[in-house]
Amino acid sequence: MPTQKPMTTPQPSDERTDAPIGRVERVLAYTAITVAALALISLAIVFIAPLVGAEYGDPPAWYWDALMAVGYYGFGIAFLSVVALLLVRMLSNRRANR
């Protein structure tokens, strides 16, 4: 005769559930990736341009200044976007596990 398992009462689980990914999180993630990629590309252009014979000119053209500004500020903006993404994600997970 097969033995039956004793019936146990279900215990509350300690498992945490992740909240679904929202629009704000998706926008912050794509913003961080896009800005970091643009900053990397613009810095590469600024560093490689003199090697291929491009001159910055006297007075320098506006696009060199724009490329340098994107490269200079882009990584900081991307970092702040990642920090904001982490904060939003932590708050949404905390709300989901209440």
pLDDT digits (tens), the chain, 98 positions: 667 766 666 555 566 677 788 899 999 999 999 999 999 999 999 999 889 988 877 777 888 889 999 999 999 999 999 999 999 999 988 888 87
Residue 81 CB-density burial (10 A; 0-12 exposed, 13-18 middle, 19+ buried): buried
User: Burial, 39: exposed, middle or buried (Cβ in 10 Å; 0-12, 13-18, 19+)?
Assistant: buried
Please list, in sequence order, all residues whose beta carbon lies within 8 angstroms of the beta carbon of residue 73, skipping any fewer than 6 positions away.
Answer: 39
pLDDT at 94: 87
The token duo for 40 is 């990397």
The model's pTM is 0.73
Residue 82, both tokens: 């990642």
Q: What is the CA radius of gyration of the chain?
A: 25
- Crossing angle of helices 62-96 and 23-48, rounded to 10°: 150
